[in-house]
Structure 1
Amino acid sequence: METVVNQIKSKLPENLEGLLDLAYNYWWSWNRRATKLWEKINPGHWREYKNPVKLLLDTPEERLEELSKDDDFINLYELVIDQFRHYMRPESTWFSTNYPKWEEPVIYLCMEYGISKSLPIYSGGLGILAGDHIKTASDLGIPFIGIGLLYKHGYFKQEIDKDGRQIEVFPEYNPEEMPIKPLTTEKGEQILIEVPIEDRIVYARAFEVNVGRVKLYLLDTDVPQNSPDDRTICDYLYNAEIDKRIKQEILLGIGGMRLLRTLGIEPAVIHLNEGHPAFANFQRIAWYMEEGLNFLEALTIVRGTTIFTTHTPVPAGHDRFPIGEVEKRLAKFLEGLPKEEFLNLGREGDQFNMTLLSIRTSSYVNAVSRLHSKVTKEMWRHLWDGVPLDEIPVEGITNGVHTKTWLHNEIKKLVDRYIGRVWRDYAELEGLWYGVERIPDEELWGAHLKAKREFIELIKRKIKERNERLGIDEPLPEIDENALIIGFARRFATYKRATLILTDLERLKKIVNNPERPVYIIFGGKAHPMDEAGKEFLKRVYEVSRMPEFKNKIIVFENYDMGSARAMVAGVDVWLNNPRRPLEASGTSGMKAGLNGVLNLSVYDGWWVEGYNGKNGWVIGDESFEPETEKDDIRDAQSLYDLLENEVIPTYYENRAKWIYMMKESIKSIAPRFSTHRMVKEYVEKFYSKALTNAILLKRDSFKAAREIASWKAKIF
């Protein structure tokens, strides 16, 4: 890896040496000028990979020399480097101003992270949220460390065959070509972490990812010290094999804690993003017991300093493993420890439930929207026997999105011009976004059309690549940028009801084929490799898209990823979201769309319960909180068609002024309230600051308070 750094360094002209540090910090991924800088080096390469390390490796020295003498490039380079240096060494941040004495880092653990297309260790919403959380922690100046896993094959690259069947392709990614670096000792030797699994030690190397001011550490077992089987633990994200899945979660939790200790970092506050990393608290309890505390005393400290965020609205969605399988994988770790007390923390009959482990070892538990908080309280009310439902301590902190990542460049320019660049630091201030009203209608519409053109070109490129791969000889679709474009893109899980709009094909045929008011519906998204029902939904959508009456009006594109998402959430007119209520815990894609002036057409679920104000989009079905069943699908489909025929399409084609008014209403109502700046500040104020106070109090005077609380609980319970 060091040779790659040296290889790049050796070919960079002296006046472009700053490109090396810039390439290895994902700050560039949310800076418009920085991405423009990379694009200028080689536009085609940048569009394909969005990876500055690979870009610099593949760019000939002659081209770099040429750029070093290009005045326009040098001017942009110096501006970007100056911005980067100011960002990395600010005079003050929101956090340093409000918490000047706090230095201990918050440790954030998650199974996946969506930072950029060039780091393919994410599958969907959970990872994208984790990436946005880390970027925002950087913006706010929070001492923050992320821990995850590096997957050799990532999630998967989706191909769709001629019959509409999903084919999963697992490319092997080369860490040397990614904007990440291996963790080494001062002597340059690889750092290895020892993780007890089954009856042996499994070794893990670690990589460092710079995300602005925040470090993200990724563990991987593909090292020669391990057996061939152990080297494959991190091959795939969300491995379907129980054996590999449990080992991944042990590596993430226990291995993550051991990495921190190796680096000399003492975790004061832990944030578990979903239940996958909860074994981290097993390691923390064991360490406190080594210091002379009993199990309950150690648990008291761990519980008081842990935050757990659950994203799952149904019992079946939580990670459960046969308890014997967990006990087998933890055998070496549990040697000399009170095994039953540890296992009881996650015990649910004959299963071990990672969410239960997380709840039982956390003082601070939250769901990801107000509605999801109610659903979660209902789901786990048996854990708080006798406590009234509204007093169950499950907070609702609604998800958000990292504004600088998801706001389209053309919209950014307008916001900079009419609001000022202050939104970049204070995205959560509602009053600030009222400045959107100052944007002239024609300028906002012009920016929106540019975003639509970009997305249309992306779709055409994707269709062209697929046609060439499959030997399909047919013209590319002609998509009219002035026509109404509806976007539907998300995981193809059955509860998300991708086929709802296909319920009445006769009615849909009239909607999309009206020559005076044409409509395009564009679908993207992957089904989980093991989800056959989800794959059938995808196949059905594809089959309808190939029918003569829907050809080139309903379009399915393959391999929806973070790159295509950024284009799509700004490049359609309407964002369609119709899961079966209340199965959408929050959802964030509609926030990204709304941020860009794309109007949401959604069921009343997840974040839209809080986001909808009657002027920024539409509600499919009724505005109730009643759970839906399959019987409600017909009713929701009828509501969807009615809205399209009577409100959405007529407004788009006959009342452009009202449409643009709704676009502005969407931006100004959604941008601040659903920003991760608001979300992360809530975590700091409601959870992180309290957990840090607990850490200080519980550890003071040789753990005196922890011992007293544990003793009191033992007597009471």
Structure 2
Amino acid sequence: MNHSPQIAYFSMEIALLPEMPTYSGGLGVLAGDFLKSAADLRTPLVGITLVHRQGYFRQRLDAAGRQTEEPCPWIVGRLLRELPARAHVTIEGRRVALRAWQYDVRGPAGFVVPVLFLDTNLPENSEWDRHLTDRLYGGDTYYRFCQEVVLGIGGVRMLRALEFDSIRNYHMNEGHAALLGLELLDTSAAANGRPHFTLEEVELVRERCIFTTHTPVPAGHDKFPLDLAGRVLGRHDFHEHHEVFCCEGVLNLTLLALNLSRYHNGVARSHGEVSQLMFPRYVIDAITNGVHAATWTSEPFQRLFDRHIPGWREDNYSLRNALRIPRAEVRAAHRQAKERLFAHVEQTCRRELDVSALTLGFGRRAATYKRADLLFQDIPRLKAIGKAAGGLQVIYAGKAHPADQPGKDLIARIVGLQRSLRPEVELVYLENYDMAIGQFLTSGVDVWLNTPAPPLEASGTSGMKAALNGVPSLSVLDGWWVEGHVEGVTGWAIGKPWSAVPNGDTHDGNHDGASLYEKLEEQVVPWFSRRHNAFTDVMRHAIAMNGSFFNTHRMLNQYAHKAYLA
């Protein structure tokens, strides 16, 4: 029998099923994986997010690689059940009603982690307010801030309306939910008959809150003009409580979350160091992200693990025994996963790929700092590598944010290279990267490529999914790969390690490009082409060393010991 939830996990996006497009990328997928592990490990959590009826967006690419966006609607009632309780928030003086839809994440032993999807589409609301929970990361600054009122303030009120009375800790997965701290403060003040909260109440709220920051990119930290925040919230005590709001003309939700939580962490060891430099007034710990092993392990490898490592779904650490799996069986499972990916490519792109050819995979949000085009820095050299390999294939996927024109231009530039790379290099760009394509891609390529400009990769999780499927990484030493990399054992490094320095220097793209080509020429291609056992051993080590550790079971246990139970 379930215990009442004791931890409320707030995230603007949560990815649970491919057919529920309530996520844009890594943040949402991580949140969904985390809640799945909570159900597996019987951890009393409840998740809170918005329903996002129109999804994020469906990406369309024309022949030239130009991206256009379409809504991605889904029928909420088919996958979620409506709860009878109602809550409300006040937005610019308007009373906005909220309902919640519930999805049950069920573990193998029947333990349920409920996930609440907040929704303003109710007849008593104005037409504008009814659409407030429609679009993930859509609309203007005003729309975004109103959404964060619904998530943070509305989420706490909905938990109260549903009589979730045993909540001890509130976990903010990014700053989007930071307003929940204000709701806790105001509720405490009202309960004590006061119009304003006190410093004592600030300390009590801090004891109940945990904050995880996910980005070293300044644009990733939500900031809103104080006049807008004051107008929406109906409050003007920001300067009165400077120790809470840290306002300098803006309401910075990252700083608000830091001020109203007792435990703060980054999402990889290196990201924790970078975050500590960004926010030197605070103590920033680090818990490295993970992925849900049972979700991201492909069917061929699931069957392989079931034969050789029974119980691996419950005890992810037992995957360290992958080194005992015969090489031939590892190769056979990978070939099956590769054939599944190639069948998808043929069906969606009408392109027939060679299952025996070395295939690199790259799946990322198309932001320029992720440097998706680093592979094409020296095209003659790349083509020579492809010729030496007897053919090289590269499969890309990734969306650019609708407002990110440089990201859209990057996609078009990559797609535009297809003809000039042939016949030595075959390039495919898959449309509408989502959970389903991510499962195909991370399991079906031979090597996972990752090329961000350090230190701008907070963690990254796609390479972790690849590792579970015996796919080694060829990656810049940033994010999780700093911890997962053992040269020639779990994969290969591009360039040199980045050291946290106050001026935040990033790598030279020319140097990293040259290093990428050297690794392909000197190690990846010859190992794949001629040293088959050596390459298969890298595959086995990727599973045994990285798959066994970089998972959300381990991650959740660390949160329990460092934050929830501390």
Class of the TM-score when normalised by the shorter of the 2 chains = over 0.9
- Which of 265, 269, 276 does residue 366 from structure 1 map onto? 265
2:227 maps to which residue?
Answer: 324
The answer as to whether partners of 1:477 and 1:552 remain within 8 angstroms in 2 is no
- Number of equivalent positions: 554
Q: Secondary structure of 1:625's partner?
A: coil
- Matching residue's letter, 1:574: V
- State the alpha-carbon separation in 2 of the partners of residues 591 and 346 from structure 1: 37
2:333 maps to which residue?
Answer: 447
Deviation at 1:510, TM superposition (A): 2.0
Distance 1:255 1:584, change over 3 A: same
Residue 123 of structure 2 corresponds to residue 224 of structure 1 = yes
The answer as to whether partners of 2:238 and 2:247 remain within 8 angstroms in 1 is no
1:710 maps to which residue?
Answer: none
- State the alpha-carbon separation in 1 of the partners of residues 80 and 419 from structure 2: 42
- State the alpha-carbon separation in 2 of the partners of residues 622 and 564 from structure 1: 31
Q: Secondary structure of 1:414's partner?
A: helix
- Which of 37, 43, 64 does residue 163 from structure 1 map onto? 64
Residue 119 of structure 2 corresponds to residue 233 of structure 1 = no
The answer as to whether partners of 1:318 and 1:354 remain within 8 angstroms in 2 is yes
1:271 maps to which residue?
Answer: 171
2:452 maps to which residue?
Answer: 579
- Which of 183, 186, 189 does residue 83 from structure 2 map onto? 183
- Which of 288, 295, 300 does residue 405 from structure 1 map onto? 295
1:589 maps to which residue?
Answer: 462
1:202 maps to which residue?
Answer: 96
Deviation at 1:103, TM superposition (A): 5.4
Deviation at 1:205, TM superposition (A): 1.7
Q: How does 1:286-685 map to 2 (within 5 A)?
A: 286-292=186-192, 294-331=197-234, 334=235, 340-341=239-240, 345-381=244-280, 383-384=281-282, 393-420=283-310, 422-427=311-316, 429=317, 432-463=318-349, 476-514=350-388, 517-547=390-420, 549=422, 553-614=426-487, 615-625=489-499, 632-685=508-561
- State the alpha-carbon separation in 1 of the partners of residues 8 and 395 from structure 2: 39
- Which of 146, 160, 168 does residue 261 from structure 1 map onto? 160
- Which of 125, 129, 145 does residue 26 from structure 2 map onto? 125
- State the alpha-carbon separation in 1 of the partners of residues 458 and 473 from structure 2: 17
Deviation at 1:346, TM superposition (A): 2.9
- State the alpha-carbon separation in 2 of the partners of residues 377 and 434 from structure 1: 32
RMSD: 1.8
- Matching residue's letter, 1:451: A
Q: Secondary structure of 2:565's partner?
A: helix
The answer as to whether partners of 2:453 and 2:507 remain within 8 angstroms in 1 is no
Stretches of structure 2 that go unaligned for 5 or more consecutive residues are 107-111
Q: How does 1:133-148 map to 2 (within 5 A)?
A: 133-148=34-49
Residue 565 of structure 2 corresponds to residue 689 of structure 1 = yes
Deviation at 1:227, TM superposition (A): 0.8
Which structure is higher in RCO with an 8 Å CA cutoff and minimum separation 6?
Answer: 2
- State the alpha-carbon separation in 1 of the partners of residues 59 and 218 from structure 2: 28
Deviation at 1:255, TM superposition (A): 0.4
The answer as to whether partners of 2:361 and 2:446 remain within 8 angstroms in 1 is yes
- State the alpha-carbon separation in 2 of the partners of residues 655 and 262 from structure 1: 62
- Matching residue's letter, 2:41: L
The answer as to whether partners of 1:315 and 1:379 remain within 8 angstroms in 2 is no
Stretches of structure 1 that go unaligned for 5 or more consecutive residues are 1-88, 91-101, 185-190, 385-392, 464-475, 691-717
Deviation at 1:445, TM superposition (A): 0.5
The answer as to whether partners of 2:383 and 2:421 remain within 8 angstroms in 1 is no
- State the alpha-carbon separation in 2 of the partners of residues 484 and 148 from structure 1: 40
Distance 1:548 1:643, change over 3 A: closer
- Matching residue's letter, 1:309: T
Distance 1:512 1:318, change over 3 A: same
- State the alpha-carbon separation in 2 of the partners of residues 290 and 631 from structure 1: 52
Deviation at 1:338, TM superposition (A): 5.1
Residue 147 of structure 2 corresponds to residue 248 of structure 1 = yes
- Matching residue's letter, 2:340: E
- Which of 1 and 2 has greater Rg? 1
Of Structure 1 and Structure 2, the greater helix share is in: 1
Deviation at 1:344, TM superposition (A): 5.9
Deviation at 1:449, TM superposition (A): 0.2
The answer as to whether partners of 2:181 and 2:260 remain within 8 angstroms in 1 is yes
Deviation at 1:315, TM superposition (A): 2.6
- State the alpha-carbon separation in 1 of the partners of residues 116 and 73 from structure 2: 20
> Normalized against structure 2, the TM-score is what?
0.95
The answer as to whether partners of 1:148 and 1:219 remain within 8 angstroms in 2 is yes
Residue 153 of structure 2 corresponds to residue 282 of structure 1 = no
The answer as to whether partners of 2:386 and 2:425 remain within 8 angstroms in 1 is no
Deviation at 1:552, TM superposition (A): 7.2
- Matching residue's letter, 2:80: I
- State the alpha-carbon separation in 2 of the partners of residues 133 and 313 from structure 1: 21
The answer as to whether partners of 2:387 and 2:424 remain within 8 angstroms in 1 is no
- State the alpha-carbon separation in 2 of the partners of residues 683 and 174 from structure 1: 34
1:8 maps to which residue?
Answer: none
- State the alpha-carbon separation in 2 of the partners of residues 561 and 163 from structure 1: 21
The answer as to whether partners of 1:545 and 1:556 remain within 8 angstroms in 2 is no
The answer as to whether partners of 1:157 and 1:559 remain within 8 angstroms in 2 is yes
Q: Secondary structure of 1:547's partner?
A: helix
Q: Secondary structure of 1:677's partner?
A: helix
The answer as to whether partners of 1:240 and 1:530 remain within 8 angstroms in 2 is no
The answer as to whether partners of 1:152 and 1:236 remain within 8 angstroms in 2 is yes
Q: Secondary structure of 1:649's partner?
A: helix
Deviation at 1:104, TM superposition (A): 5.1
The answer as to whether partners of 1:193 and 1:205 remain within 8 angstroms in 2 is yes
Deviation at 1:530, TM superposition (A): 0.6
Distance 1:669 1:295, change over 3 A: same
Q: Secondary structure of 1:345's partner?
A: helix
Q: Secondary structure of 2:134's partner?
A: coil
Q: Secondary structure of 2:322's partner?
A: helix
- Matching residue's letter, 2:123: P
- State the alpha-carbon separation in 2 of the partners of residues 164 and 338 from structure 1: 49
- State the alpha-carbon separation in 1 of the partners of residues 191 and 379 from structure 2: 68
Q: How much identity, in percent, do the aligned residues show?
A: 39
The answer as to whether partners of 1:367 and 1:376 remain within 8 angstroms in 2 is yes
Deviation at 1:200, TM superposition (A): 1.3
- Matching residue's letter, 2:396: F
- State the alpha-carbon separation in 1 of the partners of residues 216 and 114 from structure 2: 31
- State the alpha-carbon separation in 1 of the partners of residues 509 and 247 from structure 2: 34
- Matching residue's letter, 2:32: G
- State the alpha-carbon separation in 2 of the partners of residues 309 and 549 from structure 1: 44
- 1:345-390 Cα shifts (integer Å, max 9, x gaps): 2343111100000000001000111111110110011x35xxxxxx
- Matching residue's letter, 1:519: L
- 1:158-182 Cα shifts (integer Å, max 9, x gaps): 00012211010113322123x2111
- Matching residue's letter, 2:313: R
